[in-house]
Chain A
Amino acid sequence: NAGVTQTPKFQVLKTGQSMTLQCAQDMNHEYMSWYRQDPGMGLRLIHYSVGAGITDQGEVPNGYNVSRSTTEDFPLRLLSAAPSQTSVYFCASSSRGSGNYGYTFGSGTRLTVV
């Protein structure tokens, strides 16, 4: 089925470890974003991309890196995990050309840093 696929669904990291959260979409959407969701905080934007090779920072970018080498993939890298990065991470994509402007979300990655 078409949509946004996130892997893994669950992950436990030790402080200082690094990892990459994967995100792939098969809808040829030019816009992709990463959000983190914390209780009472809603969704906060980490990084976003408006097309292959173009990325920019969102509201809470510190400790995270992204790249966009293809239209389909937008991985999020945690360089040195910290307990404050314990959260649920959502990847989302959208296409301006569709006239929809609404975002399609993945099912999320629940990350715990101990």
Chain B
Amino acid sequence: AQSVTQLGSHVSVSEGALVLLRCNYSSSVPPYLFWYVQYPNQGLQLLLKYTTGATLVKGINGFEAEFKKSETSFHLTKPSAHMSDAAEYFCAVSESGGSYIPTFGRGTSLIVHP
């Protein structure tokens, strides 16, 4: 069974500050890990993914995430927040060799203050 925990339903940062959104997962097999972003009244858009290989993955809009197996974590970071980054962010996990159907976390709303 797989599960995802996103710490913090809301994260507030100032424009230009570091963004850190936390995600911990549980999986019985090597995981595939994803971050999605959802802007108001839109569907989800893939930000980045980890499947195999390099544990530091870079995505769109300057975001990156690092897969840490020992900590079962896949935190999302961005060095400098922009107002346009305000959105809902979802972490997801699927199991390699399984059905590949992802399980999503409950989401973290990123608020960016000017």
Interface residues of A (CB under 8 A from B): 4, 31, 33, 35, 40-45, 48, 50, 56, 58, 90, 92, 94, 96, 99-108
The 8 Å CB contact of B44, one of A50, A96, A101, A105, is A105
Residue-wise, chain B 82-106 has the 8 Å CB interface mask toward A (1 for contact) of 0000000010001000011111111
Q: Is the CB of A45 within 8 A of B101?
A: yes
Interface residues of B (CB under 8 A from A): 9, 32, 34, 36, 42-46, 49, 51, 90, 94, 99-107
Q: Which residues of A contact B42 (CB under 8 A)?
A: 107-108
Task: Report B42 CB to chain A, min CB distance, Å.
Answer: 6
Q: Which residues of B contact A100 (CB under 8 A)?
A: 49
Supply 5 further A-B pairs (C-beta < 8 A) apart from A4-B43, A42-B105: A31-B100, A40-B106, A44-B104, A101-B51, A108-B43
Q: Which residues of A contact B36 (CB under 8 A)?
A: 105
Q: Is the CB of B90 within 8 A of A101?
A: no
Most buried by B among A41, A42, A94: A42
Given contacts A42-B90, A42-B104, A101-B49, contact A48 B43 (CB under 8 A): no
Q: Which residues of B contact A41 (CB under 8 A)?
A: 106
The 8 Å CB contact of B43, one of A50, A101, A107, is A107
Complex: chain B residue closest to A9, CB-CB: B41
The 8 Å CB contact of B100, one of A44, A96, A106, is A96
Q: Which residues of A contact B32 (CB under 8 A)?
A: 101
